[in-house]
């Protein structure tokens, strides 16, 4: 029975978005659509262990969901009008729904999925709600899985998802793909959600794991899906390129005990070069689409500089610095400026890097950001200013909430102490 359950869970993760999107096209409510799709899942959990796994599990689930959607539609119509007045309309609606579901069965990725993504990432929702709802509806993660990934109580996460669906319903957000200027604005929202999911997976903000590879995988799946749905959107390809290149380092970023390994110290033979090539191809596509100066495409170009370097010493820091200059022009932020300062330090020396860091150190957005003292500490160590370096590293340790990052910084602190008192 456990094997059957695992099969059901795997099918659900793959097919749930299509199920929910297909039903939502007719019900116009993703909350109701998810409930009906979940009902079909419950039926599968009840019947498949006894009757065996059907030859086409996805079609079975879609058929079961279709029946429940028709029942829901019938109940709604009967509440709205007297039964005698709705017979012909109900028959028409049932046929419309059946046709819509049958059409969904023949489409692996279709406009319904795109509508679902845009709805889950609607700006009417807070960013944490968009992220949770996207992982739930589009990626098929359970509430418990999302809660574990973001280290929040399951009850809290469940309430967040419930409120998000309620907000969409109350705001009467249409289940549709936006057009014109609204489409560009909404694409930016979708890309932000995917980017934040990936970043949390790539560098966990808290907990005892350096990264959460499952979240990276979910973000990559969303990114690949979006590029298929919007092939002419350069920033979608740019973001996919960035994620593919960054994720290619996964095996080299963690040691045997899960400890963090920074880029400069990684065994580059462990990088996934096939994934790097996919990223470079996506980057080339983004640039051909006219997205060479987009936020994500520029970040991907920076990542590509690292990916092309066979050793840390071969890294083209001068080009990386130029790319950060361009990024600052279109996306000015203290964090981008801090990253640029690191590039200055590598291209022009630690003194120039420290000067660049100190120019942004007073920014309020960096007040509690652990990487500011971490970067300063590293540059001060290179300059031999060890007492100051130790003070900065201790501050960085106090600010980070990630155990693996604390360990990494503690090692750096010991190195500073050893240099100070050999």
Instruction: For residue 254, give the DSSP letter.
Output: B
Which span out of 181-195, 239-253, 279-293, 399-413 was modeled with the highest average pLDDT? 239-253
Query: Percent of the chain at pLDDT above 90?
Result: 58
Confidence of residue 79 (pLDDT cuts 50, 70, 90): very low
Confidence at residue 99, expressed as pLDDT on a 0 to 100 scale: 59
Nearest alpha-carbon partner for 215 in 150, 291, 284, 262 = 150
Confidence at residue 27, expressed as pLDDT on a 0 to 100 scale: 81
pLDDT in tens, 395-410: 999 999 999 999 999 9
Our CA angle for 228, 233, 237, nearest 5°, is 65
The answer to whether 24 and 116 are in contact (CB under 8 A) is: yes
Query: Percent of the chain at pLDDT above 70?
Result: 90
Residue 419 has pLDDT above 80, yes or no: no
Residue 254 has pLDDT above 50, yes or no: yes
- Give the whole-angstrom CA distance, residue 101 versus residue 411: 57
Confidence of residue 104 (pLDDT cuts 50, 70, 90): very low
Q: What is the mean pLDDT of residues 325-342?
A: 96
Residue 110 has pLDDT above 90, yes or no: no
| Pure H helices in 203-233 | 213-229
Virtual CA dihedral for 241, 242, 246, 247, nearest 10 degrees? -50
Top pLDDT among 285 and 148 is at 285
Q: What is the mean pLDDT of residues 109-117?
A: 79
Residue 105 has pLDDT above 50, yes or no: no
Per domain, the residue ranges of the chain are: 2-108, 109-230, 246-315, 324-367, 368-422
Q: What is the mean pLDDT of residues 301-327?
A: 97
Query: For all residues of the chain together, what is the average pLDDT?
Result: 88
Interacting residues of 238 by C-beta distance below 8 A, sequence separation 6+: 282, 283, 286, 291, 294, 295, 296, 297, 298, 299, 300
Confidence of residue 51 (pLDDT cuts 50, 70, 90): confident
Confidence of residue 6 (pLDDT cuts 50, 70, 90): confident
Top pLDDT among 181 and 46 is at 46
Top pLDDT among 404 and 417 is at 404
pLDDT in tens, 8-44: 888 888 888 888 988 888 788 888 889 988 888 888 8
Interacting residues of 357 by C-beta distance below 8 A, sequence separation 6+: 338, 341, 345, 372, 375, 376, 379
Q: What is the pTM of this model?
A: 0.84
pLDDT in tens, 369-380: 999 999 999 999
Instruction: Specify which residues 254 forms β-bridges with.
Output: 260
Residue 88 has pLDDT above 90, yes or no: no
Q: From residue 121, give the alpha-carbon distance in Å to each of 17, 48, 138, 143, 385.
A: 14, 34, 11, 17, 47
Query: Token digits for 34?
Result: 């998810």
The answer to whether 317 and 342 are in contact (CB under 8 A) is: no
């Amino acid at each position: 029975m456990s094997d059957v359950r695992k099969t059901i869970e795997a099918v659900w993760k793959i097919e749930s978005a299509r199920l929910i999107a297909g039903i939502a096209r007719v019900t116009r409510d993703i909350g109701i659509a998810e409930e009906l799709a979940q009902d079909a899942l419950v039926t599968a959990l009840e019947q498949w262990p006894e009757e065996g796994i059907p030859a086409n599990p996805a079609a079975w689930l879609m058929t079961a969901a279709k029946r429940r959607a028709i029942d829901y539609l019938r109940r709604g119509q009967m509440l709205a009008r007297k039964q005698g007045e709705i017979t012909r309309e109900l028959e028409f609606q049932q046929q419309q729904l059946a046709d819509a579901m049958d059409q969904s069965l023949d489409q692996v990725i279709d406009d319904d999925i795109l509508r679902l993504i845009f709805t889950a990432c609607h700006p009417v929702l807070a960013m944490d709600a968009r992220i949770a709802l996207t992982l739930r509806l589009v990626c098929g993660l359970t509430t418990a899985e999302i809660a574990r990934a973001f280290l929040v109580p399951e009850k809290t996460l469940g309430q967040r998802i419930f409120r998000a669906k309620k907000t969409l319903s109350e705001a009467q957000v249409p289940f549709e793909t936006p057009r014109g200027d609204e489409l560009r604005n909404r694409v930016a929202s979708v890309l932000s959600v995917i980017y934040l999911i990936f970043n949390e997976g790539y560098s966990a903000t808290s907990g005892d794991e350096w990264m959460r590879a499952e979240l990276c995988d979910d973000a990559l799946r969303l990114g690949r899906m979006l590029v298929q749905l919007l092939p002419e959107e350069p920033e979608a390809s740019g973001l996919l390129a960035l994620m593919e290149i960054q994720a290619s380092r996964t095996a080299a970023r963690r040691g045997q005990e899960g400890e963090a390994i920074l880029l400069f110290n990684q065994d580059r033979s462990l990088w996934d070069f096939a994934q790097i090539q996919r990223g470079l191809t996506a980057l080339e596509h983004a640039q051909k689409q006219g997205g060479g100066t987009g936020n994500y495409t520029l970040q991907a170009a920076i990542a590509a500089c690292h990916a092309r370097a066979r050793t840390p010493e071969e890294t083209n820091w001068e080009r990386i610095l130029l790319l950060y200059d361009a990024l600052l022009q279109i996306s000015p932020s203290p964090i981008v400026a801090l990253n640029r300062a690191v590039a200055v330090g590598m291209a022009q020396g630690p003194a120039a890097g420290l000067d660049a860091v100190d120019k942004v150190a007073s920014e309020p957005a960096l007040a509690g950001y652990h990487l500011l003292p971490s970067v300063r500490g590293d540059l001060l160590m290179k300059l031999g200013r060890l007492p100051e370096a130790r003070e900065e590293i201790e501050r960085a340790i106090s600010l980070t909430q990630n155990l693996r990052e604390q360990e990494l910084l503690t090692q750096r602190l010991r190195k500073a102490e050893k240099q100070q008192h050999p």
